[in-house]
């Protein structure tokens, strides 16, 4: 893990940075969109809850075992928060992590989540030197499934009715990617 404090990652269209107070309105808007929250663990966020997430992120560095770090995805040029990618290094094995992403409905379908997730994977395997990154998605979340596969992640598991989710049993897929697979895909 890098000893330097995280500042930002730039891609063609995005700046990935820490969440900040100015993100509150956009952050709450997409967190409270029922279509965005459909496959997430929450139904809605109060202003106090959203502020708490933003405040908690101030003291977190990416790669700290057992903690989620949220990479805010800001559109270059406008400074608008389009969504976020989260990364959590496992507490019991700091060589492995889980990734997740959430983007505003109006910013979906444009490749922004892929661009952001690729940048975070590059950071995870490069700067953090991780061995393996996993992602878990609801089997019905076709857009997430497609994105994980475009990222080169391999479906390793299909868990049937393994989670009580929003009043019903849900099924999930487990995807994974190894550092050597990522580097090979990148031609390194």
How far is Cα 101 from Cα 156, in angstroms, rounded to an integer?
19
Strand partners, 158: 173
- What strand order describes the sheet that includes 168-178? 8-10, 14-17, 68-75, 81-89, 96-103, 132-138, 168-178, 154-165
In this structure, are residues 43 and 83 in contact, taking their beta carbons and an 8 Å threshold?
no
The residue ranges of the chain whose pLDDT is under 50 are: 1
pLDDT at 173: 98
Per-domain residue ranges of the chain: 8-185
pLDDT tens, residue by residue, 151-166 = 999 999 999 999 999 9
pLDDT at 5: 84
The domain defined by 8-185 folds into: Aminopeptidase (3.40.630)
pLDDT at 41: 87
Strand partners, 134: 98, 176
Q: What is the pTM of this model?
A: 0.94
With vertex at residue 91, the alpha carbon angle to CA 157 and CA 143, rounded to the nearest 5 degrees, is 40
pLDDT at 3: 57
Residue 159 CA: distances (Å) to CA of 83, 88, 107, 136, 142: 27, 21, 29, 10, 16
């Amino acid at each position: 893990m890098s000893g330097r404090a995280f500042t930002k990652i730039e891609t063609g269209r995005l700046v990935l940075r820490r969440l900040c107070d100015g993100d509150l309105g956009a952050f709450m808007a997409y967190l409270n969109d029922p279509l965005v929250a459909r496959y997430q663990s929450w139904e809605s966020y109060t202003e106090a809850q959203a502020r708490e997430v933003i405040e908690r992120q101030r003291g977190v560095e990416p790669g700290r075992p057992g903690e989620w770090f949220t990479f805010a995805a800001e559109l270059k040029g406008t400074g608008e928060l389009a969504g976020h990618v989260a990364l959590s290094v496992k507490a019991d094995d700091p060589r492995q992590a889980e990734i997740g992403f959430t983007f505003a409905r109006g910013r979906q379908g444009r490749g922004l989540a892929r661009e952001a997730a690729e940048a975070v994977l590059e950071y995870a395997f490069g700067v953090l030197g991780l061995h393996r990154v996993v992602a878990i998605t609801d089997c019905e979340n076709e857009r997430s499934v497609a994105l994980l596969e475009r990222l080169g992640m391999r479906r390793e598991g299909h868990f049937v009715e393994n989670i009580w989710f929003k009043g019903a049993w849900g099924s999930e897929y487990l995807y994974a990617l190894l550092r050597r697979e990522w580097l090979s895909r990148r031609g390194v």
